[in-house]
Amino acid sequence: MMRKSIVIISTFLAMFVFGMVAYHYLSPKVVVENKSETTYKELIITLPKSGLSFGPILPGESSTIYYSPQGESGELKYRLIFENNTVAKGVIPYSKRIEWGRKVKFVIKQSHNVTVTN
Q: State the residue range of the domain holding 103.
A: 27-117
Predicted local confidence at residue 21, as pLDDT: 67
- Give the per-residue pLDDT at 12: 74
Could you tell me if residue 21 is inside a domain?
Answer: no
Structural domain tally of the chain?
1
Extract the residue ranges of the chain whose pLDDT is less than 50. none
Q: Please indicate, yes or no, if residue 4 is contained in any of the structural domains.
A: no
67, 47 Cβ separation under 8 angstroms: yes
pLDDT of residue 75: 95
In whole angstroms, give the CA distance from residue 81 to residue 111. 14
Cα distances (Å, whole numbers) of residue 113 to 33, 34, 80, 89: 12, 10, 10, 11
Q: Are strands 74-82 and 51-54 parallel, antiparallel or unpaired?
A: unpaired
Which pLDDT score, from 0 to 100, does residue 4 have? 80
Please name which of 109, 97, 89 lies closest in space to residue 28, comparing C-alpha atoms. Answer: 97
pLDDT of residue 108: 95
* Pairing verdict, β 29-34 and 87-94: unpaired
Helix/strand/coil for 23: helix
Q: What is the pLDDT of residue 77?
A: 96
- pTM equals 0.79
Residue 22 located in a structural domain: no
Mean pLDDT (the chain, rounded): 88
Please report whether residue 76 resides in a domain: yes
9 in a domain, yes or no? no
